[in-house]
Structures are given as structure tokens and as C-alpha cells.
Chain A
Amino acid sequence: MGTRANDIFSGKRRWLLHVVLIIISLAFLVPILWMIITSLKNTNQVFTWPPILIPSPANWLNYPQALKVSNFGRYFFNTVFLSFWVILGNLFSCTLAAYGFARLEWKGRDVVFIIVLATLVLPDQVTLVPLFIVFRNLNLVGGGYKGYLPLILPFWFGKAYYIFMMRQFFMGIPKDLSDAARIDGCSELGILWRIMIPLSKPALIAVSIFTLLNTWNDFLNPLVYIQDPKFYTISIGLANFQDRYMTQWNQLMAAAAMMSLPVLIVFIIAQKQFVQGISMTGLK
């Protein structure tokens, strides 16, 4: 491969760049590898030095074992259930709002949009206590599936970050298309549904992936709101497991791997959307 003008390291120094990048990317990879390697060891193999790099035979039993002691299967299902409703609500509310900000012209729009952006800098902890009190007074904190409502409802009413992301994408869709539809008598809702949404698949996928990731990742909100162990999400489940089985590293790593693998798989399949999504919010 030849060099281009934006190649900062040219010519003979390129092998050096390879060496540097190989070392760096290995450093980033090692913790993930170490998690998987440890998860396949039996208890005697965990505490040895020099470490066993390829446990043989691999002790796959740590996975069912971790599932059994920590009720991980249940947490897994809970988190998928929760993520589904969160993603659905987020797609609904943020496409509507994004369309209102990107494609409709109305008085005060830009001022309101600045308020949307301003809420981005508001730390979660600032609103946490009063929201908890409200949801508690509504009897939504505690057990049962209704206990998920405090985690789901905010997403049905538009989150600034995702509204911003969708708006950026909508603004890039040529106006001629929606103008033509409008002349043909299509309503704004019709334009959103029949023209904008089909053209926004990459953005909708990016929003869904980010929402999934954040729900999967969220620790503070489930910690505060979910008090019935049967309804724990996977992050609370893993944190509890870590408290109780602090030195069972092989099982702990199996549990951590089970929590990470679905997200890593989604990431590997949808890497392009990830990258596009991140750049969408950062650039313009």
C-alpha cells in the first residue's frame, strides 16, 4: 500500500508504527482475553504463577455454575425485557421530537432546542432524589414488573442526547423529498412515517444500539429503583455476585463474560453503525 499525504508517518518508519499499534491494541485486548481465559479455569489453575494461558481441558462448567448460583438467567431475561421497552419508547419519542426540531418551522423552535441541549449537561444525580420520591409515592418502587416503570418512562418522553442524534440525521435528508410529499397532500406525520423513517435506518439502528448499551450498562438507576432480587438487572446481579463470591475468580469471570458477550457481539456485527452514531453527535 502506498502512502497518502495525510499519512503522518511515511516511508521507513511505518514498521515502527505497526509495532507501536500492535503493542497498544494488545494492551487493550488483554483484559478481555484474561476474563475469558480465567473463566475457563478450574479453581486450582486460577492461583498459579506463571499463569496458565490456555487452560486445558477448558472448564466450561463455570458458566452453568455461575448461572445456577446467581440466578443470572433470570437477570438476563429481565434486562432484555427492560431494554426492549426502553428502546421502543426512545425510538418513538426521539423521532417525533427530532422531526419537530429538524423539519418543522415554528416560532421559538431554536430557543427550545437550546433548552434540549442544556439538559445534556445536567448530571443525573441532580434529579435523582426528587424522582425517587415521586416514583415511591406513586408506589412504583419495589417489586414486580411495574418496578421497571421508573427506568422505562423517562425514555418515552424524549432523551436529549438521542433527540440531538436523530435531528442531526434528519437535517441531512434532502428537503425536496418531503416537500414533494407535502404538495401531494401528505400530512407531517405521514412524511415522518413514510419518508423520513425509511431513509433513517442507519440512525435508528445507531439509536437502538446506544440505548441497548446504556440500559445494559446502567447501574445507578437499577440500584436505586429495583429492590426485589427477582427483578434485578444483569449489572446489579453481577455486582451482588461479586460481593458474595469475591475470590471465586473463575466463576466471577464467567459471569462477567456472560454479561459482556451479547454487547460485544452486537458491537462486532454493527461496528459501522456505532462509529457513525458517535460521529453524528460529535461533529456538527
Chain B
Amino acid sequence: MSAQAPILMTPLAKKKIGHERRKLFLGLAFISPWMIGFLAFTLYPLLASLYYSFTNYSLFGSPKWIGLENYINLFSDPKFYKSLGNTLIFSVIVVPASIVLALGLAILLNNKLRGNSIYRTLIFMPSVVPAVASAVVWIWILSPQWGLLNGALRLIHLQGPPWLSSPDWAKPALLIITLWMIGSDMVLYLAGLQEIPLDYYEAAELDGATAWQKTIYIVVPLLTPIMFFHLINAFIWSFQYFSIPYIISVQGSGQPADSLLFYPLYLYQNAFRYLKMGYASAMAWLLFLLVMVCTIIILRSSKSWVNYGN
């Protein structure tokens, strides 16, 4: 078809095609840095990772093809299951908790109160403290003997747990640290709340709605697009949570008793401590598939609960 096209075309149409092509080149020229970056820093490593996952490679010599061996070994590796389990459990708790907390705080801050901007600044501030600094500060606060938190608990006659040195309390401790940095998510909701037209509230007020009813029937449905965005983000983020678990678990060991051995941490250990590049790549690809599947499920589900208005 394309071979015949020029014969049938009027000069005007030809000019139009030329014009279209010029526009295409211009567009591609503008995005060319991104395209090179996409090929070199995303697509190539993604495919190379798949290749390495079928090899045995320790950076010395060249990769040796071993077929499915890495995957077979993974599925009989207790630490693989442990790290996957840790990541899944933590995600399932931290993601809903951060949505509820961020939304709740935003609703509290959306009232016209004196001093509101001070409250907002204070709640937001921890989210800009660098991760490593936060982790170091919290190790001190959570210190079983001399830490501020257990000291405060003693004041009300409670014996605080050993937090980061106990396999049962390490994850709750990480949850506290993580939720402390919720501020930037809260701001998302706050921005969304400020876009809700006042008439909506006024109408509800005329109907005699209570504070709780206003929240459930007006605020939450109108914020579902933001909740959706936050859900996807938080979820993917929780699957690559690395720096704070690394610091609080003693040099990235995942201790105590592997309770902080999250999937990215175990992947890192395999790649850069044991130099098992192939094995780590197999983990990377499983992570990739898992994230894809979960993202698609969330996207699909969004039709039934995300309200895009008109």
C-alpha cells in the first residue's frame, strides 16, 4: 500500500505527509535523551537481567549458561521464602496503614484552624530527613535500655519491648519509623481536599450530615483517585524498601533472626556480598513479574472503586 501511495497523492496530501514526518522527527528529537536512556538504562538491563538469570556469573570470567538452575535453587532456598514473606507481610500492613494515616492527618489539617501551617510543617518535616539519618536516630530512640520510647513507656509503667533486637518487634519498629515519614503522602491528600468544592459540604450540611458522614460520603469518594495513585506508589515502593531496613538490621544482615531480611536486601546480598549475579538476576526477574502482576490487578480493580467524577 505504501509503495503505491505517492502516485495517488495530490501535492497537498504529499505536503501533509511531509509535514507529519517533520513533526515526528521533531518530537523524537526532543525526547531523544529519554529514548537513549530508556534503551540503555531500562530496556537493556531488563533483558540482560533475564539472560543473566539463566547463568552462573560471579563477575570473574564470563557468564556460564545453566538453564533453569537458579530458579530451581531459589524455590528450595528457605531464605528466599523468608525474604519474600517478610516483604509481603510488611507491604500488606504498611500500605493500608499509610493510606489511612495520610488521609486521616490530611482531614484533620483541612480545617481552618489557627496554627494549621505549623502543624502541617511539623508533620511534614520528618519526610525530608534523609533515610540513613532517620534510621540512625530511631536506633537510638528504640534502644531497649536507654531509648526515649521505652523510657516514656516506663513512665506509664509499661515494660517496653526490645524492639530492634527482637525478631517479633523488629517489624513493628520499622512500621513506626516508616509511618513517621508519612508527611509527603499526607500533602497529596491535602492538595486533593482543597480542590473539593465548598458547595458539596454546604449541601451536606443542609441535609444535616455529621462530621463522620461528611468524611465517608463526600471526602473519601472524591479522593479515591489520589488513594489509587498512592496505593500503586506505596505498593511498589514497599517492594523495594532498602535503606532503612539495611541500616537498622546491622550492616544489612537482616537480623534479628532474618526478621528484617526483606526481598531487596536478600537480592543485594546475593549480588554484592556473595557475587551470585545470576542468582540475584533470577530474584530480580521474579520481583519484576510480581510487581507487574500486582500493578495489573490494582489497575483492573480501580474501575470498581475509583471515582473519576465526570
Q: Which residues of A contact B (CB under 8 A)?
A: 1-10, 14, 17-18, 20-22, 24-26, 28-32, 34-35, 38, 46-47, 49-51, 92-93, 96-97, 99-101, 104-109, 112, 115-116, 119-134, 136, 153-154, 156-159, 163, 188, 213, 216-217, 219-220, 223-224, 234-235, 238-239, 242-243, 249, 252-253, 255-257, 259-260, 263-264, 267-268, 271, 274-275, 278-279, 282-283
Contact = CB atoms under 8 A, between A and B. Distances in A.
B34 A17 contact: no
Q: 6 closest Cβ contacts across the A-B interface?
A: A157-B37, A100-B30, A106-B27, A158-B34, A279-B191, A127-B45
Contacts of B173: none
A31 B137 contact: yes
B13 interface: no
A128 B271 contact: yes
Interface of B: 20, 23-24, 26-31, 33-34, 36-38, 40-42, 44-46, 48-49, 52, 59, 105, 107-115, 118-119, 121-126, 128-134, 136-141, 146, 148, 151, 180, 183-184, 187-188, 190-193, 195-196, 198, 201-202, 205, 211, 214-215, 219, 225-226, 229-230, 232, 236, 239-240, 242-243, 246-247, 251, 264, 267-268, 271-272, 277, 280-281, 284-285, 287-288, 291-292, 295
B198 A17 contact: no
Contact of B188 (A35, A260, A282): A282
Contact of A106 (B24, B112, B292): B24
B133 A123 contact: no
A220 B128 contact: no
B107 to A, nearest CB: 6
A32 B201 CA distance: 37
A123 B240 contact: yes
Judged by DSSP, the binding face of A is helix
A88 to B, nearest CB: 13
A79 to B, nearest CB: 10
A34 B137 contact: yes
Contact of A220 (B184, B193, B242): B242
A114 B126 CA distance: 33
B33 A93 contact: yes
B187 A278 contact: yes
Given A1-B112, A132-B271, A96 B31 contact: yes
B30 A28 contact: no
A274 B184 CA distance: 9
A110 B37 CA distance: 18
Contact of A14 (B113, B193, B225): B113
B268 A220 contact: yes
Given A28-B180, A128-B284, A136-B59, A267 B30 contact: no
